Amino acid sequence: MVLIGVGIVIIGFLLRLNSLLVVTVAGIVTGLVAGESPYQILVEFGKAFTVNRYMAIFIATLPVIGLLERNGLREQAEVLVSKMRAATTGRLLTLYLFIREVAAALGLSAIGGQPQMVRPLVAPMAEGAAEAKYGDLPDDVRQTIRAHSAAVDNIGLFFGEDIFIAVGAILLMNGFFQQNHISANPILMALWGIPTAISVFLIHSTRLYLLDRALKRRLGNHVDVSTISMREGMPK
């Protein structure tokens, strides 16, 4: 019966209901099933919400990040990314993976992102790199390169971020262990994340190397030194 809360979360997310609402309803129902009164549930929510305030610590960084964005932080990051020079699609994406992962590990997860960086910059540059080498690309190749561009952004973010100690995941783990009276240290937890962060870079950059090889096998050595601009690769 206690698992009904898990069921509610699944159904709620499947129906694309507001996640905050779904999570709250799941919490209320779990409490009711456990035989608590509505007042007790309110108290539990209030207590747990207060105990878990550490998850809000990212708000402390918003004033300075907002200030920097107002003065062109994102644009400066875009300029740096657009200066990336790499001979092939795979190498370009590997370079972006590296930048994204390191930036996230330093707490700069605002650099990058699907709408901000991948759509306007990374995907067109990745397509452009292939076009510069092989000329016009078949549609399915274009689609694959774009999907790879999106994947690189996700992978770099996910596995870089946890090395930064102030990120939600580390705080959540720390808070969870504290509440269970188990000693934990955010910095050590972040350090033990490094082997995975390196592994994912090795695994994924190998796959990007294989992507280059697949492109070469598929499209041949056709060298087309057309004047395609790197930024105009994506049809509107």
Residues between 203 and 232 that touch other proteins (CB under 8 A) = 203-204, 207
Interface pick for other proteins out of 81, 92, 99, 108 (rule CB under 8 A):
108
Biggest CA pair distance of the chain: 73
Judged by CB under 8 A, does residue 34 bind other proteins? yes
Q: Nearest distance from residue 236's CB to other proteins, in Å? A: 9
Select from 57, 87, 214, 223 the one that contacts other proteins (CB under 8 A): 57
Residue reference for tokens 């087309």: 224
**Which of 15, 180, 217, 221 touches other proteins (CB under 8 A)?**
180
- The residue from 125, 170, 215, 230 that contacts other proteins (CB under 8 A) is 170
Cα(104)–Cα(98) distance, integer angstroms: 10
- Is residue 115 a contact residue for other proteins (CB under 8 A)? yes
Choose, by CB under 8 A, the member of 81, 89, 134, 162 that binds other proteins: 162
Nearest to 33 by CA among 65, 4, 75, 58: 4
Nearer to other proteins, 19 or 226 (CB): 19
Assess 83 for contact with other proteins (CB under 8 A): no
3-class DSSP state of 135: coil
Distance of closest approach, residue 126 Cβ to other proteins, in angstroms: 11
82, 95, 125, 182: which one contacts other proteins (CB under 8 A)? 182
CB-CB contact of 192 with 165 (8 Å): no
Report the distance separating Cα 46 and Cα 30, nearest Å. Answer: 15
Give the residue carrying structure tokens 């990120």: 167
Using an 8 Å Cβ cutoff, are 53 and 61 in contact? no
Beta-carbon count within 10 A of 91 CB: 18
Kindly tell me which residue out of 37, 85, 138, 196 binds other proteins, with binding defined by CB under 8 A. Answer: 196
Write the CA distances from 180 to 57, 65, 76, 142, 174, integer angstroms: 21, 33, 43, 49, 10
DSSP labels, 189-210: HHHTTHHHHHHHHHHHHHHHHH
Considering the complex, what minimum distance in angstroms separates the CB of residue 155 from other proteins? 6
Q: Which of 95, 107, 216, 228 binds other proteins (CB under 8 A)?
A: 107
Task: Write down the least CB distance from residue 8 to other proteins, Å.
Answer: 10
Region from 22-30, 82-90, 130-138, 214-222 binding other proteins, contact rule CB under 8 A? 22-30
In the complex with other proteins, the residue whose CB is nearer, 195 or 222, is 195
